[in-house]
A and B are shown apart, each in its own frame.
Chain A
Amino acid sequence: MKAGSNLEKVLAAGHLAVTGELGPPRGADAEVIRHKAKYLKGLVDSVNVTDNQTSVVRMCSMAVCRLLLDMGIEPNLQMVCRDRNRIAIQSDLLGASALGIKNVLCLSGDHQKFGDHPHAKNVFDIDSMQLIATVKKMRDEGKLINDQALEGVPKFFIGSAENPFADPFEFRVTRLGKKIAAGSDFLQTQCIYNMQKFRTWMQQSYDAGLTEKCSILAGITPLKSIGMARYMQKFVPGLDVPDSYINRLKGVDKKLQGAEGIKIAIEQIQEIKEMKGIAGFHVMAIEWEEHVEKIVSGAGLLPRPVPSAEQGS
C-alpha cells in the first residue's frame, strides 16, 4: 500500500471503485458540508473535495476534507496550482497528511478569468504534472522539491485528471502516460458524454498498457435537464455532449428530464463497465448529491466493499 486509503484498498482488492464529489460552499457554515455529505456516505469509496472550483472562492478544500473525516467519510483533497506556489503546495500537503487525508488529486486549476475574482493574479509556479511528481517525491523519497529530507513523510494515494475530449485528441493518451510517469496512481476523467470518443481513448490507453499502471475512473455527471445539457454542449470548453442526448432529453416532459438524465448516467456506467481497463467511476452529481444513490444503486455498484473488513475476515 502506498497510502492505505480506502480508495486504494478498494482498487487493490480488484473492485470497481466509485468516487463522489462535493463542492464546498461560499461561506463558513460547516453544516452545509455535513448536510451534503450525508447523501454520499456509504455510497462512494472516497469523496473529492473541490479546490475553489471554477476559480470561485469557497471554503478551503483541506478544512472540508477534515470535516468529512470527522463524519467517517474518506476525502480526496483536490489541489490546484493556480493559487499556490511550490512553497504553499508542499506546506499544504504536509498539513493535509497530518490531518489524516490520504488521497490527493493534482490539478492545474481553472483560469481565474472564469471565477468571481477575475482581477486576481494567478500563480502557476508548477503545473499539474509537476504537482504529481512533487507528491510522489514527498511520499516515496521523503523529500521536498529542493531535496531536503522530511521529518514525517506524507503518504498519499496520488490522483490526477484528464479530459479525453480536449484537443489534440491524438495527444491525450500520451499525456495520460506522462501523468502516470510522473506518479499518478489513479485518474478521474472529465465528464463523459461522447461515448464513442471515450471508448477510443480508453482502448488506446489499454493498448498502451497504461490502465495496468494507473486506475482509470470514468467521470459521470448526470444531466439534470435539457438546459444543463445545452449549456454544457455550448459553453463548457472541452466538454463534448452529443446531439443524441440533447434530443433524448428534449423528447421527455420537463418534470421527468432529471429522471431521464439519471437513466442515461446508469446506461453509461453499464456500457463503460464493459470496457477493458476501466477501474471505476467518478460520479460528479453537481449540486445534486441527493441523487447519487439512484445512480450508484441503479448501476449495480452497491453495496460498496469494505476492504478492511474483507482483509480482516
Chain B
Amino acid sequence: MVVAERKPMEEILTMVADFKKILLTGCKGCVTVCNAGGQKEVGILASALKIARKKEDREIEIDEITLERQCDPEYIDQLEKPIATNHYDAVLSMACSVGPQYIAKRFEDVLVFPVLNTTFIGGSLEHGVWAEFCQACGSCVIHNFGSICPITRCAKSLMNGPCGGSSRGKCEINPETDCAWHLIYDRMKRLGRLDKLSTVVMYKDWTTNRDGGPRKIVREDLKL
C-alpha cells in the first residue's frame, strides 16, 4: 500500500492560518490502513485544529468527509455538493498526494492543501511501524535477488552489492537499517541459488521508472 504520515501540526496550522472555514477530507484506502488519513484521523485532526485555533481566539469551522477513495474521480464527485453549498476557504486532503491533486483538478477554483506526506510503497512490520519495500520502478526483478528488492532496500540501489559499507548485516547509512544485500545473500544461500549472484547484473532500464516521465497505464480491455 501507499504509506503516508501526517504533516507536523505546525505546518498544517500555517497552511490554514488565513482560513475560517475549511473542508477536511479523508480517504478509506491505503491511508486508513496505515492510520494516517482515515475517518478516525480526520476527526482527530479536526479537533486538534479547532482547539489550537480557539486558543488563538480565532476559531475555525471544519467540515469532515471521508471518501471511499480519493484516487477515483467518481468518489471525488461526492465533494461537489458540499463544496458548492458551503463556500469553504480551502479543502484539505488527508489522502496520499493523489487525493489533493484529484480534488484540485475537479474543482478548479478551490484552494487545496495536502495534509499528509506520502512516504513510500510499503507494508507494516509491526503495529505502528511501516517500512518501504517498493520504489515502483515499473519492471520488477526481485526474483533475481531472493525476492528482496535491491533498488528500494539498498541505499545505493546497487544491482551488484553488497558495498563495502555492509557491516554485521546492517547498512552503513543507519545501524537500524538492514543491508538488503546481506539479506539477499542469506536468502539465496538458503535457497541453494548463490551461483545466481556470481554473475554481473548489467544496466537497469529506467524508462519504466519515473525517469521515463510521468507514467500511465492504458488497459484497452477495460476502457468503456
The chain A residues found within 8 Å of chain B, CB to CB, are 81-82, 86, 108-111, 113-114, 122, 124-130, 133, 145, 161-163, 166-168, 171, 174-175, 177-178, 181-182, 190, 237-238
Q: Pick from B160, B169, B206: contact of A129, CB below 8 A.
A: B160
Q: Given A128, A167, A177, which contacts B169 in the complex, CB threshold below 8 Å? A: A167
Rounded to whole angstroms, the CA-CA distance of A171 and B157 in the bound complex is 18
Q: How far is the CA of A128 from the CA of B164 in the complex (A)?
A: 11
- Write the B141-172 contact mask toward A (1 if CB under 8 angstroms, else 0): 00000000000000111111111111111001
Bound-state CA distance A120–B204 (Å) is 22
Does residue B224 face the partner (Cβ distance < 8 Å to A)?
no
Contact in complex: A133, B202 (CB < 8 Å): yes
B113 within 8 A of partner (CB): no
Measured between C-beta atoms, what is the minimum distance from B198 to chain A in Å?
A: 5
For the complex with contacts A113-B173, A178-B199, 12 further pairs of A-B residues with Cβ separation under 8 Å are A127-B157, A127-B161, A130-B160, A130-B201, A133-B202, A166-B166, A167-B167, A168-B182, A175-B162, A237-B165, A237-B167, A238-B165
Bound CA–CA A126/B165 (angstroms):
18
B contact residues vs A (CB 8 Å cutoff): 155-169, 172-173, 179, 182, 185-186, 194, 197-204, 206
Can you offer 9 A-B residue contacts whose CB atoms are under 8 A?
Answer: A130-B200, A162-B164, A166-B162, A168-B166, A168-B185, A174-B198, A177-B198, A182-B200, A238-B166
- Complex Cα distance, B167 from A174, in Å, reads 17
Complex contact A124–B158 (CB within 8 A): yes
Q: Which residue of B lies closest to A132 (CB)?
A: B200
B contact face: mostly helix, strand, loop, or mixed: loop
Given contacts A181-B200, A238-B172, contact A127 B156 (CB under 8 A): yes
**Interface pair B158/A175, CB less than 8 Å apart:** no
Contact B169 A82 (CB under 8 A): no
Q: List A contacts of B157 (CB < 8 A).
A: 124, 127
CA distance A130 to B157 in the complex (A): 12
Bound-state Cα–Cα, A113 to B172, Å:
10
Q: Say yes or no: A111 contacts B172, CB within 8 Å.
A: yes
Complex Cα spacing A161 to B164, Å: 9
Contacts of B165 in A (CB 8 A): 110-111, 163, 166, 237-238
Q: How far is the CB of A261 from chain B (nearest CB, A)?
A: 22
Please determine whether A167 and B162 come into contact, CB atoms closer than 8 angstroms.
Answer: yes
**A250 CB, nearest partner CB in chain B, Å:** 24
A137→B172 CA distance, assembly (Å) = 31
Of B173, B186, B197, B204, the contact of A174 (CB 8 Å cutoff) = B197
